[in-house]
Amino acid sequence: SADKLSALALASQGVRITAAEARQVLDVLAFSGDKMEALKLLRDKITDPQNWSVVVGGFLASVDREAALKLAP
């Protein structure tokens, strides 16, 4: 939802997170569109981009997984 994404945008300012932590955030969101928006917010904050596959695993549809792969830092 827009409220969760707004809260995420505020809460994520100046923080660094692991891929696993980003996945936990994605898992809280129900809709793939919201997950993709959250991923765009978190992308540059992930400290271990070599574990991007953990993040991609948070998407169920193959089209969403492909889109997430393209966002890899």
State the CB neighbour count (10 A cutoff) for residue 16. 11
Structure token digits, residue 32: 């793939």
pLDDT given at position 28: 93
Identify whether the C-beta of residue 35 lies closer than 8 Å to the C-beta of residue 7: no
State the CB neighbour count (10 A cutoff) for residue 49. 12
Helix, strand, coil percent values for the chain (each to nearest 5): 70, 5, 25
pTM of the model: 0.88
C-alpha span between 17 and 35 (Å, rounded): 16
Is pLDDT at 16 greater than 90 in this prediction? yes
Q: What is the mean pLDDT of residues 7-21?
A: 93
Q: What is the mean pLDDT of residues 7-25?
A: 94
pLDDT given at position 2: 86
pLDDT given at position 52: 97
The string of pLDDT tens digits covering residues 23-65 is 999 999 999 999 999 999 999 999 999 999 999 999 999 999 9
